Structure 1
Amino acid sequence: MSPTPQSGETNGQVLPFRESLLAMLGVAFVVMLVALDQTVVGTALPTVVAELQGFEYYAWVATAYLLTSVITVPIFGRLGDYYGRKPFVLASIVVFLVASALCGMAPSMPFLVLARALQGIGGGMLVGTAFACIADLFPDSHVRLRWQVMLSAAFGIANAVGPSLGGVLTEWYGWRAVFYVNLPVGVLGLWFAWRYLPHLRQQAHSGPIRVDWLGALLIAAGLGCMQLSVELLPERGFDAYTGGLLVLAAAALVALWHWEKRCANPILPVEMFRNPGLGPLFQLSVFAGFTMFALLLYAPLLFQGGFGYSPKEAGLLITPLVVCITVGSIVNGRIVTRIRHPNAMLYAGFGMLAVACLGLTQATRGMPHGLLVAIMLVGGLGLGFIMPNLTVFAQQTAGREHLGIATAMLQSLRMVGGMVGTAIVGTLVTRSYTAGVDHALAAANASRWAARMADPQVLIDKAAQAVLLGQLGQAGHNGALLLEQARMSLVTAIHLGLLAAAAAAALGVWRARQVPPVKLVRTAAPAMAAD
């Protein structure tokens, strides 16, 4: 049984402190479940591919998850507005755990890809509903910002321990353990959510509701084709296939826009995008996702492949970035409710992100580690200033009727920004690196080695390097010099990609000017229907 909310509480929350804490523990566990899975799996992927023999499916292990989660986030965000969020939180944990078990038992790569797609459905349901639960529990934005620190801490812990945990589990217990580790975390989250998370529903939706399934289908088609196109863009370039997918995505999204304007109960209310307060926040979420994913994906490659650092050294440099997202969120909660212009935190966050990306474009192998750590700290604090404020500002602007879908759209658009950023930065890095390597090999009359050096992974894998150096030496080439030139090409390529990320963050600073002044007013808990 869920505890009965104490309606009209003057402290800005619908439950007493103890019940609020236990309910938030449940939400924090399910958020950690998704974050931990995303960070742990990446470490194990090379071992998975080596055992299951399916390198052509390598990218699809991540793509299948992203594809289904991006689609389901806005769908279940809206359904949570209609039916309450608790049923979807519980269902999403069950789906995620079943899919995790199937991933761990996968006998082949195609099976693993399908299981990851199912896992993405559960992850999308979680993201689409869990974040909106906080606004249900804490209507007062001041109180909500303080409690959101728990979610930031859950993300920070998962991001900090995920890569190392993935490596340890893979080395000691095999790659299947990285999926099974979700089970105890998920069971804890399921128990806390079932026992303590109240089933809150808005009284206005007491009658039967017609679900906009055509809108959901068009969302799936539009975002699905977009995801596929940006995943294939770095590898294939802009050809007929990727161009056709983009055309299909645009057609589906245009049809969605026109349909939702006529639909009685739209799953994606188009008036949100016309809202002068929400529109800029949605755009800022795209810019934040673009920059965040570029940093998280290409800073490690810069340190390991470009500078030749060990995974341990690179991990120590990346850790301040992910940990300071939590620190920045905590600091933000202390500051934003005490200043006259809360919007200033968005300027500060995007400005710090731009500075971090620009700092990395100037990074060299000889740069002191302390300075690199400082750059990572600035980037992490910037993200900590941005993400909680986007959520709270959007929830306050959208109102209770559209609270769930507005929160879900922020999360979904951040992933879309990450997709687009990964495609653009990935294309810049791949093309620039390949051009640099081809030029160096051609000058040394060693162009036949281009295919072997086209993947920058060779600059990280010491065993592959040793084999390649031996073969180059037998052929009469200076292998060490060619590898060093490849490293220089990779550093230049990543600098170019991070410059694009810095431009996205600078656009965020400029676009933040369009966000109307937000006032974080104190509010009492409204009357809510509860089971």
Structure 2
Amino acid sequence: MAVHTAAHHSSGQVLPFRESLMAMLGVSFVTMLVALDQTVVGTALPTIVAELKGFDLYAWVATLYLLTSVVTVPIFGRLGDYYGRKPFVIASIVVFTVASVLCGMSNSMMFLVLARGLQGIGGGMLVGTAFACIADLFPDNVVRLRWQVLMSSAFGIANAVGPSLGGVLTEYYEWRSVFYVNLPVGAVSLYFVWRFLPHLRHVAHEGKMRLDWPGAALIAVTLGALQMFVELLPKHGLSAEIIVYLAVSVAAGYGLWKREKRCDHAILPIDMFRNKALAALFTLAILGGFIMFSLLFYAPLLFQGGFGMSPKDAGLMITPLVVFITIGSIVNGRIVTRLKNANLMFFVGFAFLAISCLGVVVATRNMPRPLLLSFMLMGGFGFGFVMPNLTVFAQQKAGREHLGIATALLQSLRMIGGMIGTALTGTLVSHLYASGVNLALEKDHATHWLPDLSDPQILINLDGQRALLAQLSQAGHDGAALIEAARESLVAAIHIGLAMAAMVAAVSFWQSRRVPPVQLKGPQEPVILAE
């Protein structure tokens, strides 16, 4: 394999414009593959569970995917630093696509859950390497921000069409098609990556590398146990089993920290955490993930379950939040390079997120739709102003040697922040909702109906709701009043949950001052083209 230094073009990119465009299309299709899968599958899940008859494994379809992807992101991020990212991007497409076929062939929930776990490994490999490919292709930060719009657009398109596409495929072509739709996207992305993405490596990583497999195992245990803790906490509270997961995560994390400090070939370079700029950016990634997942997960539940909107209307309300993440990223790329202090975008972004969360907190069923849409729009702009800058700033502060692991860690920490956000907000919402429903049932001497109303999904499932209303009416209760009381309890619970997300946004705004000023333009370092 020939290895030579790739010349930087005057525009701050490794390849000429046409080759850069083709390579970025490949990376964008890969991103679309994962984003599309996550949004499409969610819509089809109730139908899948009904056919495969495995409701007890319902949550694991998403949980095992998240678990395996969170664990593999930092591992493959580091391996990409060592060996170059192209082989792992290709492997991730193959693994993800094969796993999609296995998901579509599932004849039991257990088979589907295991196939989703394999799919998560492919997704983790992809996230751990694809985002860093952009920094390899465009060493100049200003140029990178402009090209990153392609990936943001692919992500935004997938998020915008995913839920509707999932509904159409499930209704007209059976649920298995939601997994088979990944085949053409996977084939196109594989062609572009194989044909146009260069195999880039860095001078410092020439020759044989020793890999820190014990460190990788400790990362897997730390993040895996943490994922189990935050997944089970909302459902079971602080039981002994849940506390054991937390203890294992903390112990493994401490062991990882001690090992990596004295390891010459650490998979997780501890010196990155001593870097004040990176430490501040990693903290903001966790806080940003907390806000993002809380808003994306609980705003739709508020609109459908609390305000009684149809799935279509609730989807329309959420669309500006998702679409304007992409538009915000594009606007950010045009503005941030012209600012003397690029960090200003963090303050603007987190201020928008705080206002968006507060807007949802004060929202009522009678709030004018344009006003509610404007709060969603501000949230999208907020994420668009924060997320791309976190990535670009971290890549610049980490330097070429740690570029892949720094980018992967940022994505992992955002996912961890999201897991913590959904767990804490979910626990709060669950307890407050159950408490409110119980109080309403006590007043009507109907506490034995609590199991039927304890899950807020009854407020969305119209068929189940009609059946319950008939049963309540037969028993001599005012079913409509009890359902309305449940709705009010859900609205109050989600308002308090998202008030916590607004507080996190305010903390993030304050925390942004800890990020040292970032100069987006800087000298370029040589990259190795290993192909």
> TM-score w.r.t. structure 2 length?
0.99
Deviations 1:97-139, CA, capped at 9 Å, x for gaps? 0100000001100110000000000000000000000000000
Distance change >3 Å, CA 5–CA 192, structure 1 → 2: farther
Q: In structure 1, how many angstroms separate the alpha carbons of the residues matched to 2:71 and 2:518?
A: 30
Could you tell me which amino acid in structure 1 is paired with residue 373 of structure 2? V
Alignment of 1:382-461 (within 5 A): 382-461=382-461
Partner of 2:22: 22
Q: Does 1:503 align with 2:503?
A: yes
Partner of 1:338: 338
Partner of 2:351: 351
How far did 1:4 drift?
8.6
Q: Give aligned pairs, total.
A: 531
Partner of 2:31: 31
Partner of 1:126: 126
Deviations 1:72-111, CA, capped at 9 Å, x for gaps? 0000000000000000000000000010000000110011
Residue pair 2:53, 2:109 contacting (<8 A) in 1 also:
yes
Distance change >3 Å, CA 5–CA 40, structure 1 → 2: farther
Alignment of 1:366-381 (within 5 A): 366-381=366-381
Partner of 2:154: 154
How far did 1:205 drift?
1.3
What SS does structure 1 have at the residue aligned with 2:402? helix
Residue pair 1:7, 1:528 contacting (<8 A) in 2 also:
no
How far did 1:524 drift?
4.2
Q: Does 1:305 align with 2:305?
A: yes
Residue pair 1:429, 1:493 contacting (<8 A) in 2 also:
yes
Could you tell me which amino acid in structure 2 is paired with residue 18 of structure 1? R
How far did 1:523 drift?
3.8
Alignment of 1:128-527 (within 5 A): 128-524=128-524, 526-527=526-527
Residue pair 2:4, 2:529 contacting (<8 A) in 1 also:
no
How far did 1:8 drift?
3.2
Partner of 2:107: 107
Could you tell me which amino acid in structure 2 is paired with residue 121 of structure 1? I
Residue pair 1:11, 1:524 contacting (<8 A) in 2 also:
no
Unaligned 5+ residue runs, structure 2? none
How far did 1:333 drift?
0.2
Residue pair 2:391, 2:410 contacting (<8 A) in 1 also:
yes
Residue pair 1:33, 1:182 contacting (<8 A) in 2 also:
yes
Residue pair 1:13, 1:525 contacting (<8 A) in 2 also:
no
Q: In structure 2, how many angstroms separate the alpha carbons of the residues matched to 1:223 and 1:157?
A: 30
Q: In structure 2, how many angstroms separate the alpha carbons of the residues matched to 1:268 and 1:5?
A: 27
Residue pair 1:342, 1:518 contacting (<8 A) in 2 also:
yes
How far did 1:506 drift?
1.1
Once the two structures are overlaid, the 10-residue window that deviates more, 432-441 or 203-212, is 203-212
Distance change >3 Å, CA 2–CA 357, structure 1 → 2: farther
Residue pair 1:13, 1:524 contacting (<8 A) in 2 also:
no
Alignment of 1:55-70 (within 5 A): 55-70=55-70
Residue pair 1:2, 1:195 contacting (<8 A) in 2 also:
no
How far did 1:268 drift?
0.4
Residue pair 1:12, 1:525 contacting (<8 A) in 2 also:
no
Q: In structure 2, how many angstroms separate the alpha carbons of the residues matched to 1:207 and 1:346?
A: 40
What SS does structure 2 have at the residue aligned with 1:45? helix
How far did 1:528 drift?
2.0
Q: In structure 2, how many angstroms separate the alpha carbons of the residues matched to 1:257 and 1:4?
A: 36
Partner of 2:82: 82
Q: In structure 1, how many angstroms separate the alpha carbons of the residues matched to 2:525 and 2:314?
A: 46
Deviations 1:322-353, CA, capped at 9 Å, x for gaps? 00000000000000000100000011111111
Partner of 1:71: 71
Residue pair 2:200, 2:527 contacting (<8 A) in 1 also:
no
Deviations 1:363-421, CA, capped at 9 Å, x for gaps? 00000100010000000000000010000000000000000000000000000001000
Q: In structure 1, how many angstroms separate the alpha carbons of the residues matched to 2:67 and 2:506?
A: 28
Q: In structure 2, how many angstroms separate the alpha carbons of the residues matched to 1:390 and 1:2?
A: 34
How far did 1:64 drift?
0.3
How far did 1:206 drift?
1.3
Could you tell me which amino acid in structure 1 is paired with residue 205 of structure 2? H
Unaligned 5+ residue runs, structure 1? none
Q: In structure 2, how many angstroms separate the alpha carbons of the residues matched to 1:316 and 1:222?
A: 38
Could you tell me which amino acid in structure 2 is paired with residue 310 of structure 1? S
How far did 1:527 drift?
3.9
How far did 1:505 drift?
1.1
What SS does structure 1 have at the residue aligned with 2:347? helix
Could you tell me which amino acid in structure 2 is paired with residue 345 of structure 1? M
What SS does structure 2 have at the residue aligned with 1:528? strand
Residue pair 1:10, 1:525 contacting (<8 A) in 2 also:
no
How far did 1:525 drift?
6.1
Q: In structure 2, how many angstroms separate the alpha carbons of the residues matched to 1:525 and 1:232?
A: 46
Residue pair 2:212, 2:265 contacting (<8 A) in 1 also:
yes
Q: In structure 2, how many angstroms separate the alpha carbons of the residues matched to 1:200 and 1:88?
A: 12
> TM-score w.r.t. structure 1 length?
0.99
Residue pair 2:441, 2:449 contacting (<8 A) in 1 also:
yes
Residue pair 2:131, 2:407 contacting (<8 A) in 1 also:
yes
Indicate the RMSD between aligned Cα atoms, in angstroms.
1.2
How far did 1:522 drift?
4.4
Partner of 1:95: 95
Residue pair 2:3, 2:529 contacting (<8 A) in 1 also:
no
How far did 1:529 drift?
3.4
